[in-house]
Structure 1
Amino acid sequence: MVKRFCVFAACLAVGVFMITVGSSVSYACKCADLRPVGEEFEKSAAVFTGKVIGIKEEKGVGSTSPTEKVLFEVSGTWKGVSESQVILEFIQTSCSIDFNEGKEYLVYAKENPDFKNKEVLTSEVCNRTVEVEKAHEDLTFLGQGDSPVKQVDLRKEMERPVPVRTLLMWLPVVGVAGIVGLFIWKGAKE
């Protein structure tokens, strides 16, 4: 009985280890020189200034890198944004910008190809995104931005979704543990 329990515990430990400790690949961020303001403006899906009012980090599962959502209160817009709040979302890499809550940024955003099922805006260190206090050249070129025309509240979208993927990953481990437990229980009865 003790031997079977030890085998069960060892199998469970190995299963948990394999699911929770996955290798992830990381790459160094390599940027060419920053594009001129006009070129960056043309290549961006959205250009706006805004204050970070919320940051939500979600841990990656297995070999997936952590993701981050950054909620901005938009103060000025030049392209692609007409609402009072916008969320940038990205998988954290060495190219990710370390946004700070309470700071105001000039953001050059593009559509994020990492999120295939929804339209998501993102920005990275290779763009000209920078704190507003360091964006003098850009703001001189861009001129006065427009105010957002539509008031929205996106704080609910920052809430963590139900972790269906995590539940689906644990289902086989629990199933195997249940089957092994059943065999141990049946063996103990004999």
Structure 2
Amino acid sequence: MLKILKLIIVFTIMLIFVFVNSVSVTYACSCAQPGSPSEELNKSSAVFSGKVVKIVDNNKNVIFKSSADPLEIHFQVIETWKGISVSDVVVKTSRDSASCGYTFALNEEYLIYTNGEEGYYQVNLCSRTAPLANASTDLNELGQGAPPTEKVQVDEDNQMNNHFLNITLISILLFIIILIGFYIFKSNKN
């Protein structure tokens, strides 16, 4: 029976390892040259300039990270050319440029070309998004933008942290292993 207990424990540890280290499909970023500012304005869901006021990484405590993990970039809108009328906007991008994520810096200002719908705006490396200081060509072609007309404050999402989820699953599996071991130990004694 002790041999069976050892086999069960080894199998369970291997099962945990497989679930924790599951491999997903990987992709690489490849971009076509973006169009002119006017063309990209027409193709984009929203175009605005804004200052990065917060960067939220909901997966920062996860042991295994992916370059495709989403980051939430909170902007204070300065001017808008299309699709945005509010003063604060959240845009999502991938964590890393390997997954076409755009790297934003806190307290920096950008000209942002997004796709998606309100509340689900996304930006990627392949768009004309650029630091505002480097976007003079775009700003000249786009002309004067409009200030935001609605003052809003973005609500914080109370999403379950993946780190907490990982710890919970591992704890449950370990508890089950201990119960099985205790049951086998008790049945061997009898």
> Under a length normalisation based on structure 2, what TM-score does the superposition of the two structures give?
0.80
Kept after mapping to 2: 8 A contact 1:77/1:147: yes
Tell me how large the CA RMSD over aligned residues is. 3.2
Q: Which amino acid aligns with 1:69?
A: E
Of 147, 158, 161, which aligns to 2:159? 161
- The 1:188–1:66 alpha-carbon spacing in structure 2 relative to 1, beyond 3 Å, is farther
Distance in 1, matches of 2:93 and 2:125, equals 12
Kept after mapping to 2: 8 A contact 1:84/1:152: yes
Which deviations, in whole Å up to 9, do the C-alpha atoms of 1:127-158 show, x marking residues without a partner? Answer: 1000001100000111111111111111523x
Unaligned regions of 5+ residues in structure 1, if any? 113-117
Which deviations, in whole Å up to 9, do the C-alpha atoms of 1:51-96 show, x marking residues without a partner? Answer: 1111111337989742211111111111111111100124445211
Distance in 2, matches of 1:89 and 1:188, equals 56
Distance in 2, matches of 1:63 and 1:132, equals 30
Unaligned regions of 5+ residues in structure 2, if any? none
Q: Which amino acid aligns with 1:98?
A: T
Kept after mapping to 2: 8 A contact 1:34/1:126: yes
How many percent of aligned residue pairs carry the same amino acid?
Answer: 29
Q: Which amino acid aligns with 2:160?
A: V
Distance in 1, matches of 2:141 and 2:73, equals 26
Kept after mapping to 2: 8 A contact 1:53/1:73: yes
Kept after mapping to 2: 8 A contact 1:24/1:63: no
How many residue pairs end up in the alignment?
A: 183
Q: CA deviation at 1:125?
A: 1.1
> Under a length normalisation based on structure 1, what TM-score does the superposition of the two structures give?
0.80
Of 81, 86, 102, which aligns to 1:83? 86
